[in-house]
Chains A and B, each alone.
Chain A
């Protein structure tokens, strides 16, 4: 069964800490994405990557960075966590052009920043 795996389901961090959210896919997909999900706001795209070592800003990149050193792994980094980054973070991947291709999602990482 093909998968997108997010390493941490639940994290609690303190303001100012550096946070790493890891995502691995086993489908050999070129494209990977990070979204955050908040009630009433749906999913908002933070960053995406169409190739190794490549990254593009999404709609809400402020306060985040990403790393894609290998095709299967896409990491989201919060350099200095803040309480307004408390959210559910969803990683997704897809192959080829993103137009008609279906996103495959991980189960999510719920981050609480105190």
Chain B
């Protein structure tokens, strides 16, 4: 069946550092891919999505490209802020990865 694997966390960075959170998937067909973010005490909310191969989703400085050849959808941000501290989930439609905790220090 479908599955999603995210890099192990937690990830701790200094403000303005570059962020990459790896995500790979196994799927049949041509699923849509998503990144969701969960801020402390809140439910998940959509960060970005891509619906077909080579699509790039972007939002709030975050980007991810749907790579069919490597079955990946890695999340990147060039310069993180303290306010980006949260849990990040990669998802393949209704199937979620295990989540990656990001902490950004001033």
**Residues of A participating in the B interface, judged by any CB pair closer than 8 Å:** 4, 33, 35, 37, 39-45, 48, 90, 92, 98-100, 102-103, 105-108
Contact = CB atoms under 8 A, between A and B. Distances in A.
Contacts, number: 51
Contacts of A90: 43-44
Interface stretch (B11-19, B68-76, B95-103): B95-103
Contacts of A107: 41-43
B51 interface: yes
Interface of B: 4, 6, 31-32, 34, 36, 41-46, 49, 51, 89, 91, 93-99
Nearest to A4: B43
Nearest to B96: A43
